[in-house]
Structure formats: C-alpha cells, structure tokens
Structure 1
Amino acid sequence: MKITSPLLGAASVALLLTLAACGGDSGGGSGDEGAADGGGEAATACEPSDGEVTLTFFSWVPGIEGVVDLWNEQNPDIQVEVQTGPNGNSGTYQNFFNQLEAGNPPDLGQIEFDALPNFRVQDGLTDIGGCEGVMESQEKFVDWTWSQVQLGEENAVYAIPQDTGPMAMFYREDLFTEAGIEVPTTWEEYAAAAEQVRENDGYITNFSTSDINQFAGFVWQAGGSWFGNEGDSWQVGLDSEESVQVADYWNGLIQDDLVSTLPPWTTEWDNAYNSGDAWTWVSAVWGANSIMSGAPDTEGDWRVAPMPTWGDEQAAGNWGGSTTAVFKGSEHPHEAAQFALWLNTSEEAHEALIEAANLYPATTEGQQLPALSEGVPFYGDQKIYEVFTEAGATVPTEWTWGPTMTQVYNDVSDGFSAAASGNGSLAEALTSTQESTTSALESQGIPVGE
C-alpha cells in the first residue's frame, strides 16, 4: 500500500523546500514558522500543561503496554493510553494520515526512520526541539540516528530515535568449517565463497527482491544515498554510482545461480535456513530472532561476523529502526516529549523493551545493557550484540530517505522481481525507478533538481 494523503499541497511543498540531507550541514528553521522563513529558533510552544494530562500513543512494539505501565505508575499526572496495531506499512501510516486530515491523530506515534520525511513533508509532525531536555539528549544517541530525526534542520527535532538496525552477517559456522571455506570479510571474498557453497549444494544466501530495505542497507554501507536536498529541490540518486555498483554485484550472483531468491518471511524461506540450504544472511540486529524462530533445528550452529566490506575500511549498513514522534495538533507537546525521552533513553524502559521485544536501543548506553552484553545460547554463546554495537558505530551518517519511499519500494521490487525472472537487470530496475520517482515527486508539485 502506498503512503499517500490529501494533506500534500502548497503549504506542504513550502515546508519540503527546507529539508536538507539528513547528515548535511545546512541549517534552517525549526517548527512551523522556522520551516517557512529559515529562522533558527524553535517555533513550537513547549510549556508544561496545567493540571493532569492524558496522552494517546500508538505503537506496534510487542509488549509495549507493559512498558507504558511503568511510566504510568511513576507519573500519575501524565498518563499515557497506548493503542496497538499492525506495523506502519501494513496500514498504520495510512491511518495516521487519515487522522491528521481529520484533525484527531494520537499525541504520539511510532514512525520508522524511512517514513519520517513523508510525515514532515505533509506537515504532520511537531518540532519538539524546544522542549525540555530534547536537544540535551542528542549526546545519548548513535550519531546517525540523531541526524535522521532532525531532517536537515539544525535546530529542529521531529522525533526521538527508538531503535536501530545495524547490519552484520549471520553465518553457519558448522557448514563453513565442514566445507573448509573461509568466512568472507569482503564482498569479493563473499562472491568467491558463494561459488564454493554452491559446489556443496547450498546457496550462500537468499537475495530478497521484495523487501527492498535490505538492498537499501547495502547501498547505505557503500556510501550512497538515494535522496538529498540542494537549495530548493530534492535530488534523486537511485541510479547513483554506489547503487549501480551494488546492483551489478548482486545481479551477477543471481545470474550465476549463486544465490536463491525466495520470498522472505515465508515458510519456504525459513526452511532454507533451517535445512542448511542457505548459509548466511546479511541482516540487521533484529534478524537474530528471525533465525531463532525460523530455523530452530540449527541452534548452536550460527555465529555473527561483520558484514563484508567493499574495501579495507569497515562500514556497515542499517536496515530498519523506528522513532517516537509527536504529531501536529497535540495539545501537550511538553508532556509528550518527556514521555518520548523516557521511553527511549531511560534504563528501565530499555530493559523492558529488550525483554518484551528484543528491541535494540538507539542510545549508546542502551546498547551496553547486560541483556545485550551476554552470550546468546542459540549462537553458541557468542556475544553477538557486541558485533552489532561495533557495526552501528560505522554506519555512514549521510543517508537520506525521500518523501515517497513506499512508491520507491514498490517500483524497485517490481523491477527486481522481473530481473530475477530473467527480464532486465537490477541496475535497469533502479534506472526505471529513478524516472518513476522523479515523476511522482513532480506530479505532487515537489521540485526535483538535476
């Protein structure tokens, strides 16, 4: 389902023009007036409300109700009513947009990093940069996550980072050892290992043609960025040098039958990993649970290593991650910001979220909690989260998400699926999506640069 909304109009386009690349140096305003005139002071009034306050919060994190109960027990004057439902692209984002249009959104909502620009463009977020404690919390977070929630506006903050998805390589240590194959550390070695794995009747991995976030993580690692902002225009770089490099690499593996292309999150996909048909998965930290649940017969056989690199310099991509945002129209931005900060920076909230949902915090301290520093039995008692912590520190900060990501994902997926069937190539799919994305932006009155 595409993320669309009738809210996008002239006012939203004006807001859009202030957005810069998420790791860039450009300043600009914050809040409504700052966004329009380039001012530097936070425009959002963020004073405490009088009397008792009740906030509404929507999330799809498993067990979030119990975490919110901890807050409610300690904050009788600021109560939070939690609502739950499917993840963002499964209907929740569209519901948010419908609620914004009707003027009745929740006070706070869970929004993934890649969806934030769309909500900003459509003027659906409150700038909480002027709220107590928000700017001061920046030092708590992994660098690139903070740049993602500022959306290129130096003095603005449109959400509080919640969790991240640094990428590493899950691999079957037993199979690599038995076959005498070295665990690859570069993508060149990975391709060579793929040939050896195929000689042993396996596939080194399964390449997803439908979940494009994984491919985006590969491009992110390579130093590319699919979007940027220059002056008053968006820049679209889906067919950038880095994107094509990554596409050509995987296209070659697909053509040579060195990787499978099973649909992810299916029984067939799980069976490939459970049976030993697939030997590695370059995925995010949350993938640890996917393998444990989908391949239970392989307990003790898996290990985690840094994802292969394009050269000697270690870098990782990111796949996933969410934020807690305050929606435009909330009557209690101060209280909402305080809850969002507690939820995503306090030790007790982190411990509860890790226990309930194995969530990987976006704060550096949260990533050092005991629950994430112990050996994991399924992975041979390896301290796998240490690998992901190191990976998170090497994720490039310059990646920028665009305002039409659902359209991008749909179009890339269509092209990738065709390429996997022998019709065209992955690079051609990116070129086609470059054109369709440019057209999608221009059809909404959004300027696109060369």
Structure 2
Amino acid sequence: MRSSVVRVLGVGCAAAMAFTVAGCGGQDTKNTGASGASSLTFWGWAPGYADAVKAYNASHPDSKVVYQAVQPGAKGGYQKMLNAVKAGNAPCLAQVGYETLPSFAAQGALQDVTKYATADKGDYQEAAWKSVTLGGQVYGAPLDTGPMALFYNKEVFDSLGLKPPTTWAEYRSDALKIHAADPHRYISSPYLDYDYAGLAWQAGADWFGVKGDAWQVTLDSSANNKVADYWQKLADDHLISSAPMYDQAWYTGLGNGDIATVVGAVWQAGVIKGGAKDGSGKWAVAPMPQWKAGEQQVGNAGGSATAVLKGCADPEAAWDFAHWLSTDPTTFGTLVDKAALYPAATKLLGLPQLGGKDPYFGGQNIYGVFADASGHVGTGWTWGPLMTKTSADLDDGLGKAWAGRSTISDALRTTQDLTLTEMEKQGLNTAK
C-alpha cells in the first residue's frame, strides 16, 4: 500500500508518505576497516548487544560492525538517531521499538531493505514481521516480542480455592472474592501506555489504521470502549490497587500478596522477580484470560527491531547483521540471559534458556506458556506515526481515570482528538 502523505524534514528533503519513505537523507559513504571489510555502526542500549557484535565480527571476517551504546529510546536515544539522520551522519543500524518505527518512517528516517529481507520472512512470527513492514516495505529485522499472559499469585488463589481465570468474566469474579476476603488485596493495579495497549490489542481494539492515503485514529471505537468499560467497572468497584506499576508500592504489593495478578508481557517475569523478591515461590503464569470462552487471542506489549536508518551505504550488509542477530541461537541465548529478550524468530522458541524451571514461579517452566501465546498474538495491530505524543496524552488521561477524576473512555476520546490535531498540524492526512 502506497500513501501520498507528505511532510518535510529539517534536512530540506520531502519525505514521502505515511508509510513509504522516499530515498532521501544522509549521504554516508561505505566505510572499510584496515582489512578492507565493510564497516557498519550499530546504536542500541540492550544488555548483551556488545557481546553479540563481537561474536558477529569473529564469525564474519568480511564484515565489521561497530557497536555504540546510546541512551534508551525514550530517554534520548531516538532523538539522537533522528538528529543524526537529518545531519547525514546516522549509523546504518539502530535499536528501535515497534511502536516507534512508524514515527521514524513518517520522518523519513528509515531505509527500505525489502529486496534483501523478503527471503527471510518465514523465519519470523507473523505479528513481528508485520511490525517492521510498513506500506509493503521492510525497514529492519524483528528482534524480540512481548506476548502476554497472566502472572498470578498462586498462594493467594490457592488460599481461596481459586483457579487461574480463563475468561475476563472469571477474572472479575475472582477480583470480587479476593477483595472480599481481604480489603487490602486487589486483583491488579492500573495499566498505562503500552501495557494498556496490550489489553486493547488482545480484544482487536485497534488504535490506528490506514484508509487509502490517510491515517485513521480509532482509540474511541466501540471495541476500545468495551475494554475501557470493563476495566472502569473494576476501578469503580474498588478492585484495582492504587499502587502505580513499577513504583515501590507496586513491588511491595506483589511481594506480600496485596496485588494478586499482573496481565503482562513475557519480560515482566524479570521485572517481578527483580523487584518483588518476597514473592519468590508464590507466583505462577497462565494464559491470558479471554473475552469468550475457548478463544485464544493474545495481546503484545513491547518488542523491538534492528532497524536500518536512512543513508546506510550498505543496506544488504546491514540486513545480514540484523537478521543474524535475530536468528543466531548462541547469540540470542545470551540476549535471553542478559536482557530477558524473547525471540521474534520462530526457530528460537525452543532455546535451552527458555526451557528451564524457575524457582520463583514454583518450579514452573513459564516460557512454555509464552511459546504457546506467541502463535496467537493478533496480527492486525498498527502503531501510529506520533506514538511519543499519543502515549503521553493517553497516560495523562489514564492517570486521571484510575484516580477517579475521569474515565478510561474519556481518556481514549481525548487522546484521539489530540492525536488527530497533532497529525493534521504536522501535515499527515487523516480520515474518519
């Protein structure tokens, strides 16, 4: 699909399209090392990347990748990348979250590598491949994903004779029983930005789409309001803890049983283990509750790509490294150990690092749950072109809603209006 949405970059080149970006940007030349090997620079921040680059260089003597650590994307890394593209001195490769790729595309910051990448499409989970494919063009290799499941305090559930809920109706019923048994205990805590997005994703409640040559913004759709009303009712009935996620009060609640579940992505396992040590041996993982009994719909929260930035003089070599990083078993096993990444490549779902029993989760092999979930992640989700602003506006509204000063539906409606206004201000075509 080709769009005619046009906006102008600071470098003075007209960057085409909501999805398809014209060939403009930096004029980097191909660098070579002393041995004559092509040299590519890679910017990222995940633990384990430096070791991965060393391994690649050792096994690919005709290529050379130079790794440079930058601040995480939201903390300055993304702006550094965009500035480098505008200045014409960007690296070939960069770590970019799936939610941010459309924003980079809209700003003309990505380079099309479709002709090098297409043959490898079958190596990746469908939803992950779609996340790096915009307007029919591929802009990088999927690296990791965030399939979701239900983390639950098995000790709390067992004490009340409860099984992990298989539907959202059962989840609400369990919430009532848990709070009635102890008014200090709650089924969950408030969800924001991409954690909340995963709940919408599972329900098929898309936030963005494309119609013809224009963006559609659908946060205020009936499907989204269905999800919003469900969680609003839990909040109105005082079944949601006031402890913000990732706050010390949240970790304390996870450790002592006051917060009984986390509906979250695979990487939450490391977060919970690291921050709520008192919960060791008490927690377990089950499939994500469903809207209809018997369904197997799963949301996704997180995940990133090794993107190829505009101006890369050797996109074929860039793809070779990006694909290798995502699919080499030994290297990705290290990334699992050091960064708790979950592979986007289907052949890596059986890595030994994903097969062990975890004492924190009562000796359960939790990755088996996520391996099953990964094949059921919905493939229709599209991120918008201005997600930094969209997520900030949504968080503002959700924060008010969870605190009882507004509603989740109001937050979605307001965020949609603000997103549309900003898109039109930046020259992006929109459609109802």
For 1:10 and 1:332, the matched residues in 2 are separated by: 21
For 1:246 and 1:31, the matched residues in 2 are separated by: 34
Pick one of 53, 57, 75 that aligns with 1:68: 53
Matched, 1:279 2:281: no
Question: Paired residue for 1:430?
Answer: 412
Question: Paired residue for 1:127?
Answer: 112
Secondary structure of the residue aligned to 2:132 is: helix
Pick one of 339, 358, 362 that aligns with 1:380: 362
Question: Paired residue for 1:346?
Answer: 328
Matched, 1:205 2:188: yes
For 2:78 and 2:42, the matched residues in 1 are separated by: 14
In the TM superposition, residue 265 of structure 1 has moved relative to its aligned partner by 1.6
For 1:168 and 1:110, the matched residues in 2 are separated by: 25
| Aligned 8 A contact 1:115 1:405 in 2 | yes
For 2:39 and 2:134, the matched residues in 1 are separated by: 28
Pairs within 5 Å for 1:19-418: 19=19, 32=22, 51-131=36-116, 134-153=117-136, 156-201=137-182, 202-208=185-191, 211-312=192-293, 313-418=295-400
Q: Normalization by structure 2: what TM-score?
A: 0.92
| Aligned 8 A contact 1:55 1:79 in 2 | yes
| Aligned 8 A contact 1:56 1:108 in 2 | yes
RMSD: 2.1
| Aligned 8 A contact 1:64 1:356 in 2 | no
The amino acid that maps onto 2:22 is D
In the TM superposition, residue 401 of structure 1 has moved relative to its aligned partner by 0.4
In the TM superposition, residue 128 of structure 1 has moved relative to its aligned partner by 0.8
Secondary structure of the residue aligned to 2:431 is: coil
In the TM superposition, residue 7 of structure 1 has moved relative to its aligned partner by 4.0
In the TM superposition, residue 263 of structure 1 has moved relative to its aligned partner by 2.1
Query: Which segment is superposed worse, 63-72 or 278-287?
Result: 63-72
CA offset digits 1:108-163 (Å, max 9, x no partner): 000010100011111111111112xx21211111111111111131xx21110000
| Aligned 8 A contact 1:58 1:108 in 2 | yes
Q: Normalization by structure 1: what TM-score?
A: 0.89
For 2:243 and 2:119, the matched residues in 1 are separated by: 45
Secondary structure of the residue aligned to 1:303 is: strand
In the TM superposition, residue 8 of structure 1 has moved relative to its aligned partner by 9.3
For 2:400 and 2:21, the matched residues in 1 are separated by: 43
For 1:199 and 1:224, the matched residues in 2 are separated by: 31
Secondary structure of the residue aligned to 1:368 is: coil
| Aligned 8 A contact 2:216 2:431 in 1 | yes
In the TM superposition, residue 49 of structure 1 has moved relative to its aligned partner by 8.5
CA offset digits 1:67-91 (Å, max 9, x no partner): 1111111223311111113321111
CA change 1:9–1:185 in 2 (3 A) is: farther
For 1:176 and 1:52, the matched residues in 2 are separated by: 58
CA offset digits 1:35-88 (Å, max 9, x no partner): 9xxxxxxxxxxx999932221111111121111111111223311111113321
For 1:126 and 1:147, the matched residues in 2 are separated by: 16
Secondary structure of the residue aligned to 1:79 is: strand
In the TM superposition, residue 167 of structure 1 has moved relative to its aligned partner by 0.2
Matched, 1:446 2:431: no
The amino acid that maps onto 2:301 is W
Secondary structure of the residue aligned to 1:219 is: helix
Query: Which segment is superposed worse, 161-170 or 246-255?
Result: 246-255
Report how many aligned residue pairs link the two structures. 416
| Aligned 8 A contact 2:9 2:108 in 1 | no
CA offset digits 1:305-361 (Å, max 9, x no partner): 011110021111000000001111111212111111110111122122112212110
In the TM superposition, residue 32 of structure 1 has moved relative to its aligned partner by 3.3
In the TM superposition, residue 100 of structure 1 has moved relative to its aligned partner by 1.1
| Aligned 8 A contact 1:113 1:320 in 2 | yes
Secondary structure of the residue aligned to 2:144 is: strand
The amino acid that maps onto 1:85 is V
Q: Matched residues, percent identical?
A: 40
| Aligned 8 A contact 1:48 1:334 in 2 | no
CA change 1:5–1:187 in 2 (3 A) is: farther
The amino acid that maps onto 2:83 is N
For 2:98 and 2:382, the matched residues in 1 are separated by: 10
Question: Paired residue for 1:26?
Answer: none
Question: Paired residue for 1:15?
Answer: 17
CA offset digits 1:280-328 (Å, max 9, x no partner): 1000000111111111122111110011110021111000000001111
For 1:212 and 1:7, the matched residues in 2 are separated by: 29
CA offset digits 1:194-247 (Å, max 9, x no partner): 111112321111122xx3111111111001211111111111101111111111
| Aligned 8 A contact 2:11 2:87 in 1 | no
Query: Which segment is superposed worse, 72-81 or 217-226?
Result: 72-81
The amino acid that maps onto 2:170 is E
| Aligned 8 A contact 1:48 1:332 in 2 | no
| Aligned 8 A contact 1:343 1:350 in 2 | yes
Question: Paired residue for 2:4?
Answer: none
Secondary structure of the residue aligned to 1:94 is: helix
CA change 1:434–1:212 in 2 (3 A) is: same
